Homo-oligomer: A and B are copies of this chain.
Amino acid sequence: MFEKTFLQQIADNEKVSLQFLQTQLASGRVVILKNNQREFIRPVAVGGGLKIKINTNIGTSTEKIGQDQELEKLDIALTYGTDTVMDLSTGGDIPEMLDSILARSTVAVGTVPIYEAALNGEKKYGSFDEMRPDEIFDCLDRQGSAGVDFFTIHAGIRREFLKFLKEEKRTAGIVSRGGAILARWMDTNGQENPLYESFDTVLDIAKKYNVTISLGDALRPGALADSTDRGQLAELHTLGELVKRCWKKGVQVMVEGPGHIRIDEVALNMQMQKKICFGAPFYVLGPLTTDIACGYDHITSSIGGAIAALSGADFLCVVTPAEHLRHPDCEDIKLGVIASKIAAHSVDLLRFPDEWERDLKISQARSRRDWPEVFRHCLDKEKAQKYRESAKLSQEDICSMCGTFCSLKLIEKCNLVK
């Protein structure tokens, strides 16, 4: 599927051997997100034994259709180290926005093609309830030919699940937009999910462009009260079946996961996905460990994301402080990316010498109060510098926190430091 020189480049970036990468790829435990129509600067592999990756969602909404701001968000996400972006646009000209993002992004780009299909349905018929399955597949093909590297496909929500959800009910219903679109379409039309029923058509398109399938979790819990419930688990078992079908057709696949999850169920969720989905890479949104931190969900997500990454998740989706409140602005994107990087790095440093070295070097520099060297290793050098510079100091080698009572300075003559 990929040339050897390309794989060697990925292996080098990842600091793993070519042989390890090839073995993981062959077993499906690793995917490489790259449409065969597209060249870009930072190709990325996701999965077991590799560094934790992060994705940033950008794109317009029906209330915020300015494309320039979305491109600015793309730049910011790249600056702070996102590994991929997803264009989740639902406002304005969808194909035009996607083309602009594909042209500008130096990293892999994902989409949720059902959005475009549903928006077309709204325009054409007045409601997406009227859209026909072949119109959904047309969107997949169009986006694949445009160069999209991975598709979120909500093929795991089946009509029969709606039956028990109507009986058992949830606190937050369905919080996946793709999931909500398909649930209502099935409910209105009395038909099975076309992405499930015609999954082979999805696979043919994915194969044609080498688009990686990211199996969406339409029934991810949107409230802690729905954490790890019957709906979520029923869908997960279906996703496991679909993983096998992807592999049989030679299509790369990863699996998406929750969501709002109780902190004591995060590790369990990671282990279950790895079992039920046969080791396929796991891509999680959050998990958020409480529902009450509106305005600070980047922090809630970094708690859940760090525990998830430690327990087997491979890919973290950025959650911004704007989550649940508004369309994120550029500053929200920056804060979200940094919070996810903290979670990912906290786990990567355990396994990768080059990541560990950053922590070692910053601490050695801090011990010497070598501030320029400290800043060099910071996740956000500018903020750290600005913070330090905001204090007027009586001496160069202290900070205003402890002042001359700096513990590192106090013990200098005791000779305890390497």
Chain B residue contacts of A388, Cβ below 8 A? 325-326
The closest CB in chain B to the CB of A62 belongs to B403
Least Cβ–Cβ distance between A109 and chain B, in angstroms: 20
Least Cβ–Cβ distance between A52 and chain B, in angstroms: 12
Q: Which of A305-345 touch B at CB < 8 Å?
A: 306-307, 310, 321-328, 338-339, 342-343, 345
Q: In the complex the two chains form, what is the Cα distance from A414 to B170 in whole Å? A: 12
Chain B residue contacts of A404, Cβ below 8 A? 62-63
Chain B residue contacts of A400, Cβ below 8 A? 61, 63-64, 326-327
A306 & B289 in contact (Cβ 8 Å cutoff): yes
A391 & B63 in contact (Cβ 8 Å cutoff): yes
Least Cβ–Cβ distance between A370 and chain B, in angstroms: 13
Q: Does A415 contact B (CB under 8 A)?
A: yes
* Chain A positions 279 through 316: 1 when the CB is less than 8 Å from some CB of chain B, otherwise 0: 00000000001111111101110110011001000000
A414 & B187 in contact (Cβ 8 Å cutoff): yes
Q: Does A16 contact B (CB under 8 A)?
A: no
Q: Does A1 contact B (CB under 8 A)?
A: no
Interface size class of A (residues with CB under 8 A): 35 or more
Selecting from A4-12, A250-258, A372-380, the interface stretch reads A372-380
Chain B residue contacts of A61, Cβ below 8 A? 400-403, 405
Given contact pairs A118-B405, A289-B306, a sample of 7 additional A-B residue pairs in the complex whose CB atoms are under 8 Å apart: A61-B402, A62-B404, A177-B406, A223-B363, A224-B363, A296-B339, A325-B399
On A, residues with C-beta under 8 Å from B are 61-64, 90-91, 115, 118, 162, 165-166, 169-177, 179-181, 183-184, 187, 222-225, 260, 262-264, 289-296, 298-300, 302-303, 306-307, 310, 321-328, 338-339, 342-343, 345-347, 349-350, 356, 358-360, 362-364, 366-367, 374-375, 377-380, 383-384, 387-388, 390-394, 398-408, 410-411, 413-418
Rank and list the top 10 A-B pairs by shortest CB-CB distance, nearest first.
A62-B403, A223-B363, A180-B407, A289-B346, A295-B383, A63-B403, A325-B387, A63-B400, A180-B410, A294-B384
